[in-house]
Copies of this chain bind each other. A is one copy, B any other.
């Protein structure tokens, strides 16, 4: 059904080269006559020719595809982020091959291999832990790489991120300013760098203000099963708590679900979330948060990656996006 250049050439009694040149708007530079050009163009249109982009990519070395590797395309951070990325790249005629690692390094490795085989022109990666070697592999293959959200300090790559430490301090100050004198931190037990940075800022805040640090590490790999009860127990044991700071929105949601009482009221001290959520502004109590501005984040990632693709790989840099403190 789908005709190839070869067939079209035969049917028009011209050479493949002619057809290819015309199709790629190189008729003039190749001195193809206007008449022939038109004849080819008309015929191509008539039969509805669509190039085989595999063959094209093989010949040109360009796939017009970039890879986007996130933790979970279904969550409220990466999903909308991916949409921005796609929209921005669509304008530049690029398409996105995405994949979710679910935090599993093995998945991540498979995905990276697959993308390299597919000859993506660049990769946008939110790394899981233990991915240093694979990041190196990407760079060895001369494929431009931009890392965002988290990174592995051991491999030098372009890195787009928010200032987790600063933002976390802002969060702490906010809680203090609204009267919390003994708020605790709820985070996960996996050592993702961005989580560590948020926690460390909390510890620093404690040191500076003399507040006692109270930290709960929930099990990343069995949140669903154990998270709720662990959190509930911890809160009821620590009666002096007067506020909770969750290092990410899914933890905050877990908090909301596990700590509410029968009557629907949740409890009587403020909650704070790192990362916003579309319903945080209508919950009771309202949830203040640090908001990662998705659009600037996506824009920067895409801009940096496209530049690498266009001009060749350059010395790694960091790009810091500032966050917003949303008081509610």
Contact = CB atoms under 8 A, between A and B. Distances in A.
A119 to B, nearest CB: 6
B283 A260 contact: no
B50 A54 contact: no
Contact of A116 (B50, B110, B141): B50
A248 interface: no
A53 B281 CA distance: 47
Interface string A123-152: 000000000000000001110000000000
Interface string A74-88: 111001111100110
Interface string A51-66: 1111101100001010
B63 A73 contact: no
A141 B1 CA distance: 6
Given A141-B1, A264-B284, A54 B99 contact: no
Contacts of A73: 73, 79, 82-83, 86
A2 interface: yes
Contacts of A90: 107, 110
Given A52-B117, A53-B118, A279-B279, A74 B63 contact: no
Given A74-B80, A75-B79, A140 B1 contact: yes
Contacts of A96: 98-99
If over half of A's interface residues share one DSSP class (helix, strand or loop), that class is named, otherwise mixed; here it is: mixed
A93 to B, nearest CB: 10
A174 interface: no
Interface in A23-73: 50-55, 57-58, 63, 65, 72-73
Contacts of A317: none
A87 B51 CA distance: 30
A83 B76 contact: no
A322 to B, nearest CB: 22
A283 B280 CA distance: 10
Nearest to A137: B48
12 contacts: A1-B140, A50-B117, A52-B119, A53-B119, A54-B58, A73-B73, A76-B76, A87-B100, A95-B114, A98-B98, A257-B281, A283-B283
Given A65-B118, A73-B82, 5 more contacts: A53-B117, A95-B114, A256-B282, A257-B282, A260-B282
- Shortest Cβ-Cβ A-B pairs, 9 listed: A74-B80, A79-B79, A74-B83, A53-B117, A74-B79, A264-B284, A279-B279, A54-B58, A54-B57
